[in-house]
Structure 1
Amino acid sequence: MQVYADDFNSYLSFFPCVSRKISTTRSGKRRKHHISIRDFLRLTDRYILTVDEGTTQCKCALWDSEGNMKYLSVREMGIIYGSRGEIEMNPLTILDTVRECIKETLNMAHCDPSRLMGLGLTNQRETTIILDKTTGMPIHNAIVWQDRRGETEIGKLDNQARSRIKEVTGLVPDPYFSVSKMKWMLENSIKSKRINDLLFGTVDTWIIWNMSRDHRFITDLSNASRTMIYDINHLDWSDSLAEFFHIPTSLLPEVVPSAAPDLALIDISGIQVPLNAVAGDQQASLFGHRAFKNGDSKCTYGTGSFVLSNTGYQPSLKPDLLTSVAWRIQGDNTVYCNEGSAFNTGSVIKWIRDSLGLIDTSAESEKAAMRSTPDHGLIFIPALSGLGAPYWLPAAKGSIFGITGRTSANDLVRSALESIAFRVRDIMESMGRDGEKRSTSIKVDGGPTSNGFLMQFQADILNMDLYRSANSEMTSAGVAYMAGIVDGIWSYEDISRMNLYLDPIRPKMSTDESNVLYGNWKKAIESVIRYYSK
């Protein structure tokens, strides 16, 4: 039997430690719970399940009452690369992989779905799917966020349109976002289908529609704010932008809070498990890092690098950065964030491994870089999918400066890793404009943070302390914490007290030396920008 939060009255007589409590939301409102739900979870061995559907992997985890990840399963995701640079995924494979990953996690824990208190879902953002609601089938493969086929459409925008889009959505117009992908599908894949039979969604919407009772058609604010047709000021779809891009509003899902009780009931082996949290992966990671205060920042290193900073309860527009909804917990105010995205991080390491064959495994990049020397003289511009923040040049291509007859494979590897750190500094420099106080530290997570060379160089080039997450799954942690707050398992204060970080990595390079290196980087990247600009 599935137990919901409202059912705890019937259990109180069996568990004397379970008592009533009134918690306070971040905005000062009162929220009632029947708890101590944490004690109830501990006594009954119940869990929160999280699903993190990413670009390259799907990860499912079980979290206990203390906020510990107890079990984790990982499944690889398949990416389809077209001959003209298209990057796609099969939506049906996404769905199958999620279901298999959930099943594997529960089997590993010998956990029946009835022992799940709730579910948190986080996902790759911007990736676009359109389905036919009469058949439940997608009309085309999912177009992945990295796909650049919308360059022509976005390139047609004049300055007035670009300014209007930035003002309404907080986003710098770029084919990265969903709307150009959606428009391409409608123009190329609709065939004889009736427009009123079609539904658009990012990956969260696709998963929820297929796995929920009654096919709930929803997305949360954090995902909606990455489509480039969502008004972050009025927290609703923008009719004017939908009309501008010729997107019928009938295609668009209902926008719901990032965390609230029973956003949907997800069918897991015949048991209806309440979905209590949904968020885009980078916003979920920001929450997982406990970045609850204005100015708190984090950087996640994955396929790309994503630097996010909490900006409080009002949008804070900056010309070269993105402004999005970070999250909204039901009963609380909406929280916003600034974001800078560098599109190529893990993909750079993958490229030097698979395409160039310079290393056999990603982990070998650290040793290869250490065999090089600081005076190698190379500057690598990692524009394998264009340049994101703060340059926003989709047409840019990767470049390498300074090659000589003495350049070695190890030098190339080292310069590629250094480029990742330089791109993060580009973003941090943009965030630090407007006279804002510069932070002296940043929280980091993601697979590449295990690379000691990269992390030390990052601390050096930023002149900041780096705090690496002790838990590699901060994205999943974010939606676990959101779901736990909704369920009354934790308060914000409980989460803030959790010890999540390893010892800091401190800068060893002098400020003058790091500034000289960064100055050389700026000269190189500015020449690339001049070459590829119209």
Structure 2
Amino acid sequence: MTHILAIDQGTTSTRAIIFGADMTPVATAQEEFPQHFPQSGWVEHDPSDLWSTTAATCRAVIEKAGLGADDIAAIGITNQRETTLVWDRKTGQPIHNAIVWQDRRTAQICRDLAEHAETVTAKTGLLLDPYFSATKVKWILDHVDGSRDRARRGELAFGTVDSWLIWKLTGGHAHVTDATNASRTMLYDIHKGRWSSTIATLLDIPMEMLPEVKDSAADFGTARSDLFGRPIPILGVAGDQQAATLGQACFKPGMLKSTYGTGCFALLNTGDTPVASTSRLLTTIAYQIDGKPTYALEGSIFIAGAVVQWLRDGLKMIREAQETQPLAESSDVDQPVILVPAFTGLGAPYWNADCRGAIYGLSRNTGPAELARAALESVGYQTRDLLDAMRADWKSEAGEASLRVDGGMSASDYAMQFLADIIDAPVDRPVVLETTALGAAWLAGQRAGLYPDQAGFAAKWALDRTFAPAMDSVDRGRKYQQWQRAVQATLTYAGAD
């Protein structure tokens, strides 16, 4: 058994990747699935889509790699975080669609609980925001008749996507999660390493419905034999951004990565110390191994690659994401168009749930090329917001290392060069861009005894290209000031102070 099966369950698609004994990808299978938008600001998934695409891609990738189940030593899982599911323990049927991390329907619940915000942050490291799982669970229990009583009787299970997939993979024998996913629910005390009864009581969420929390590398159960031909152990689990931190080998305090998928997420390793942010960043668990948590500061951007999807699916301006780069390169640089992609609110460091997107600087000559450039550059501007906040919170180390990038959007040379220019720091893109899946694979592989320890893994990290900053400091300052004015105008329009 010399291979690892990594499941990467994301917001718009599910991927399964086989990694060999040398930790390089052997084969990949991917399936997209639809998102559902019942109302403005609401985002849902059909839980059956999450499972069916997972099962299908796992079977497909094993066949594509020319392997059998006997060749797979273990399964690692990484997943979209905060997305919330509640299901019947007996039947395995969800009682509501999955409420996605982008969903903003619980903004009023958060406003009603504003007096408890400091308690929530002190215990969980998170801000009181609709982004996280806790208020989504409360909303489901509030709106599905009889569900709270059923939860108290132990009939219902809550889980993030990892828990749901493990439940399905094990045939309902394991109701578990790992510390990284637990730390994103707004129900987990990251200092004590356990669910917070204080917050659960505040939100009227029965503790009986919460999963068991394990290390990121642990025995999470066994995938049933009828799925793949033999039982396969599940030995690694981490939320997607934490898995990418592992995949980028950011094991030392001060190391920094940013992943560009549907959203953008920057994590700064702060070691065994949870750093309380004064800049509205999140304090979270980067990974937990052998019972010891490693912490991180995180900045979350809701819309990154999704802004390119909007150009494609919403405006029908492009057919493929790759078309944005030649469009941006052909744009009129004398048209300073700024796009603030607050389609589902603004994330860190602004945290405004009511904001919506805006475009500034339009002229009669503005066309697809200028909009493509503005879309790609919006990701760089938002990343600069996050890094400036991190430097304010962790002054001595946060600015010392280069930024390691990954995710689909990092393949755009234009976007990555602009990122280096606007943050005035080197941007390192690795050979393996699928670092999220690689991180999950490494967790499972090292637990199975197939992959090396942290030092050995870090030594194998390979650089594809470094993007060095080349923008004049005056231009950099002028452009970033334009962005800041656009954000403030958008916040003002939304009614924010």
The TM-score, its normalising length taken from structure 1, stands at: 0.89
Instruction: Work out the CA distance in 2 between the residues paired with 1:266 and 1:137.
Output: 19
Q: CA deviation at 1:408?
A: 2.4
Instruction: Mark the runs of 5 or more structure 1 residues left unpaired by the alignment.
Output: 1-40
String of CA shifts for 1:448-500, please: whole Å, max 9, x gaps: 11212111111100111111121121001001111222222312222111142
Q: Does 1:127 pair with 2:89?
A: no
Q: Secondary structure at the match of 2:464?
A: coil
1:4 aligned partner: none
Give 1:73 shift: 1.0
Task: Give the aligned partner of residue 479 of structure 1.
Answer: 440
Is the 2:29–2:61 Cα contact (8 Å) retained in structure 1?
yes
Tell me the SS of whatever aligns to 1:387: coil
* From 141, 155, 169, the counterpart of 2:97: 141
- Counterpart CA distance in 2 for 1:270 and 1:246 is 42
Asked if the contact 1:213/1:264 (under 8 Å) is kept, the reply is no
Does residue 407 of structure 1 match 2:366? yes
- Contact (CA 8 Å) 2:248, 2:461: kept in 1 or not? no
Matches of 2:76 and 2:274, distance apart in 1: 25
1:263 to partner: Cα distance: 2.3
Change over 3 Å in CA distance of 1:514–1:440 after alignment to 2: farther
For the pair shown, the structure with the greater C-alpha radius of gyration is 1
The aligned amino acid for 1:300 is T
> 1:270: how far off?
4.2
Letter in 1 for 2:193: L
Q: How does 1:90-239 map to 2 (within 5 A)?
A: 90-158=46-114, 160-191=115-146, 194-195=150-151, 196=153, 197-212=155-170, 215-239=173-197
Q: Is the 8 A contact 1:139 1:190 kept in 2?
A: no
Q: Per-residue deviation at 1:191?
A: 4.0
Question: Residues 440 and 510 of structure 1: is their aligned pair in 2 closer, same or farther, counting only changes over 3 Å?
Answer: farther
Distance in 2 (alpha carbons) for counterparts of 1:340 and 1:106? 35
Change (3 A) 1:408 1:93: closer
**Offset of 1:76 from its aligned partner?**
1.2
* Cα distance in structure 2, aligned partners of 1:417 and 1:374: 14
Residue 213 of structure 1: how far off its partner (Å): 5.5
Match of 2:414? 453
Match of 1:376 among 317, 320, 335: 335
Match of 1:264 in 2: 221
CA distance in 2 between counterparts of 1:288 and 1:324 reads 17
Higher mean alpha-carbon deviation, 291-300 vs 445-454, is at 445-454
Q: Deviations over 1:206-250 (max 9, x none)?
A: 111121156111010000000111100101000000000110000
2-structure distance, mates of 1:340, 1:184:
25
* Corresponding position: 1:336 with 2:295: yes
CA distance in 2, matches of 1:524, 1:71: 43
| CA-based RMSD | 1.5
Amino acid aligned to 2:237: V
CA shift at 1:110, angstroms? 2.4
| Distance change in 2, residues 1:157/1:502 (3 Å) | same
Corresponding residue of 2:7: 51
Report SS of the residue matched to 2:333.
Answer: coil
Q: Is the 8 A contact 1:299 1:306 kept in 2?
A: yes
The farther-off stretch of 403-412 and 297-306 is: 403-412
* Cα deviations by residue, 1:33-65 (Å, 9 ceiling, x for unpaired): xxxxxxxx5xxxx21111111111111111111
Please name the residue that 1:500 is paired with.
462
Shift of 1:407: 2.1
d(CA) in 2 for partners of 1:305 and 1:353? Answer: 19
Match of 2:37 among 81, 95, 112: 81
Cα distance in 1 for partners of 2:56, 2:331 equals 43
Structure 1 pair 340/353, CA: closer, same or farther in 2 (3 Å)?
A: same
Question: Does the CA-based 8 Å contact 1:213-1:265 persist in structure 2?
Answer: no
Q: Quick one: which amino acid aligns to residue 411 of structure 1? A: E
- Normalising by structure 2, report the TM-score: 0.95
Out of 348-357 and 471-480, give the one that drifted further: 348-357
Could you tell me the percent identity over the aligned residues? 37
3-state secondary structure, aligned to 2:329:
helix
Q: Is the Cα–Cα contact under 8 Å of residues 329 and 482 in structure 1 kept in the other structure?
A: no
Structure-1 separation of matches of 2:458 and 2:207: 40
In 2, the alpha carbon distance for the partners of 1:283 and 1:311 equals: 13
Displacement over 6 Å in runs of 4+ = none
Contact 2:85–2:97 (8 Å) recurs in 1: yes
The correspondence of residues 245-394 of structure 1 with structure 2, limited to 5 A, is 245-260=203-218, 262-267=219-224, 268-319=227-278, 320-330=280-290, 333-394=292-353
Contact 1:350–1:362 under 8 Å retained in 2: yes
- 1:419-434 aligned at under 5 Å gives the runs 419-434=378-393
Cα displacement (A) at 1:128: 0.4
Q: Deviations over 1:357-385 (max 9, x none)?
A: 22222111111111113221211111011
Residues 297, 442 of structure 1: 8 Å contact kept: yes
Distance across 2 between alignment mates of 1:358 and 1:111: 41
C-alpha separation in 1, matches of 2:373 and 2:132: 31
What is the deviation of 1:440? 4.7
Structure 2 counterpart of 1:187, one-letter code: D
8 Å contact kept, 2:249–2:461: no
Instruction: Indicate conservation of the 8 Å contact 2:89/2:172, yes or no.
Output: no
Conserved? CA contact 1:73–1:101, under 8 Å: yes
| 8 A contact 1:485–1:492 mirrored in 2 | no
Instruction: State the secondary structure of the residue aligned to 1:366.
Output: helix
- What code does the residue aligned with 2:205 have? I
